Amino acid sequence: MERIREKIIRALSGRKLSYWKLLKEVSSPLVEVVQTLKDLLEKGEVIWDEEEKVLYLKEEGEEVPSFQCPACLGKGRVIKGEFEKAFLKYMEIAQNRPPSIPEYDQGFILPEDLVHKAILMHEKCDLENRKILILGDDDLFSIYVGLVGKCEKITVVEIDERLVNFINEVSSTEKLEIEVFPYDLSNPLPQQLKNSFDVFVSEPPESLEGFICFLTRGKEGLKERGSGYIGLTTLESTYEKWGEIQKWCLNNGFVITDILKNFSRYWERVQDWEKFYSHFRMLKELPFNPGPVDEDWYTSDLLRIERITPRKLQSQDLYMDEETWATPLSFSHGD
């Protein structure tokens, strides 16, 4: 809990923040943020201004500078070329998307962040000429990668009929040839989709059960050496839950190759979540009403996993094994 306390104090140092902006800054389990915030409010170290709907420190302090690159906003990559062209077209199309509904825990990732996901997949050789399986597609990622036009095949499985229809229509109008199956991910993957994809992409529900269920479907869909791109938050999942998820991955023949913090932001304005907020446990537990949402506060980390073939490695000593081809062999053996 200590780290969260410090993150809150640091975020508020020298400035006032809305609850939503604070959440974005600390990006830690809501369970722990709310508890720590309650404690800090009780002790009088943090103060809630009901009028302005902001939090601030009793002892003001100095603002802690951000080191985020202003050019790429911390992504390390820039959007350009065919990825930018497809992005502009996508923005036009996505205007007519069906609104998000809470029954299926839907939420839309910011289009810029979908583009970054596709660029990352491109860099990892997971896009061009690849067969992609998208498990749940309220983000309309299928349409974006369809517009980029590099994949060999794009397949979507989706429970929400409105989305199935929308993706089908766009696919037909834009000649994207996306294959869409209406399907409930709590059932095993249809036989014809098993072991046939190079890559799966998913933003699973955050409950441990739901997460593992979606991962299992991804595993069922993949070919040998296939990879998966999965969104996971530190908001609704403690690192204890992360540990369980990672164990599942390793016990099921995957390795984790990349973990990119706060990769995907969820789009408040468009998904119109606010009307569901009163149903969030977070708001019931919070000792104040945080007021209107003024930040895309819900972000998820991106995990990339890859199937491996476990095998025994031969170690020679502390410095050498059969893969250490850029370590000076003869020296460590003293010749």
Site for a second copy in 80-109 (CB under 8 A): 80-81, 83, 102-103, 105
Q: What six digits make up the tokens of 166? A: 């929308």
* Nearer of residues 58 and 77 to a second copy, judged by Cβ: 77
The pair of structure tokens assigned to 15 is: 């400035």
Task: Give the C-alpha separation, 11 to 21, whole Å.
Answer: 9
> CA separation (Å) from 35 to 7, 94, 257, 287?
14, 38, 33, 10
- For residue 235, give both structure tokens: 């908001």
Query: What CA–CA distances, in Å, run from 326 to 93, 121, 321?
Result: 50, 28, 11
Residue 186 CB, shortest distance to a second copy, in Å, is 6
Q: Is the dihedral of CA 108, 68, 301, 62 positive or negative?
A: negative
Q: Which two tokens stand for residue 326?
A: 């850029």
Other CB atoms within 10 A of residue 193 CB: 18
Is 31 or 47 the residue whose CB approaches a second copy more closely? 31
Structure tokens given for 230: 């999965």
Part in contact with a second copy (CB under 8 A); list of ranges 42-50, 131-139, 169-177, 247-255: 247-255
Q: Which of 69, 152, 162, 287 binds a second copy (CB under 8 A)?
A: 69
- Strands 197-202 and 131-135 come out as parallel
Of the ranges 13-21, 77-85, 147-155, 168-176, which one interacts with a second copy (CB under 8 A)? 77-85
**Min dist. Cβ of residue 169 to a second copy (A):** 27
Cβ atoms of residues 144 and 118 within 8 Å: yes
φ, ψ dihedrals at 135, nearest 5° = -95, 95
- What φ, ψ does residue 290 adopt, rounded to 5°? -70, -10
- For a second copy, which is the closer residue by CB, 92 or 323? 323
Question: Using CB atoms within 10 A of its CB, is residue 134 exposed (0-12), middle (13-18) or buried (19+)?
Answer: buried
Site mask for a second copy (CB under 8 A), range 15-34, x = bound: --------------xxx--x
Side-chain-side CA neighbours of residue 211 (13 Å): 20
Considering the complex, state which of residue 110 and residue 178 has its C-beta at the smaller distance from a second copy: 110
State which residue, 50 or 103, has the beta carbon closest to a second copy.
103
Select from 246, 270, 288, 294 the one that contacts a second copy (CB under 8 A).
246
Nearest distance from C-beta of residue 25 to a second copy, angstroms: 11
Binding-site string for a second copy from residue 158 to residue 197, where x marks contact by CB under 8 A and - marks none:
----------------------------x-----------
Q: Per-residue string for binding with a second copy, 251-280, x by CB under 8 A?
A: ---xxxxxxxx--------------x--xx
Neighbours of 53 (CB within 10 A): 17
Least distance (Å) between residue 282 CB and a second copy: 4
Among 213, 216, 252, 270, binds a second copy (CB under 8 A): 213
> Which one of 123, 161, 169, 272 is in contact with a second copy (CB under 8 A)?
123
- Exactly one of 41, 47, 93, 208 binds a second copy (CB under 8 A); that residue is 208
Q: Binder to a second copy among 15, 41, 61, 79 (CB under 8 A)? A: 79
Rounded CA separation 83/95 (Å): 19
- By CB under 8 A, tell whether 326 contacts a second copy: yes
